[in-house]
Amino acid sequence: MDSAYEIRPDGTRTTNYGEHPQGLLMVDAAGRYNMQIFRVDRPVFAGGDKARGTADEYKQAVTGSSTHFGTVSIDRAKHQLVFEVQAASFPNWEGKRQVRDYSFQNGLLSYAVPASASSSGIVAYSVWRRTSR
């Protein structure tokens, strides 16, 4: 992962996953993908028990990460990635098609998550750096 950021309706830029998120996007030859993004400074659960966290610990764990997997295809003519989401940390995406406008330049894949995907009015961007095979 190179970066992840959001543009709010008023044009301001935010970084829900911090300035230097950790993430991994893997796609195999059949088009199956697995994607994770994590904020690096998420607080640990003070009690050490995932099933007994506080409301704030649960909120930080959920809003500080995004994961999903399924299949992905490329519509090169429209410059769009088409994700068929099988399962996701945001359950509203499960079983849904997610279309993302993308660019690929200098080894960086960048795509936009439209505001309609989260109903928040915020457009999120994910930027991935290709690693060696």
133 pLDDT more than 80: no
Higher pLDDT among residues 43 and 119, named by residue: 43
What is the CB neighbour count within 10 angstroms for residue 77?
6
What is the CB neighbour count within 10 angstroms for residue 70?
21
CA distance to 33, 58, 77, 119, per residue, from 99 (Å)? 14, 29, 14, 15
Claim: this prediction has a pTM higher than 0.85 = yes
What pLDDT does residue 132 have?
Answer: 67
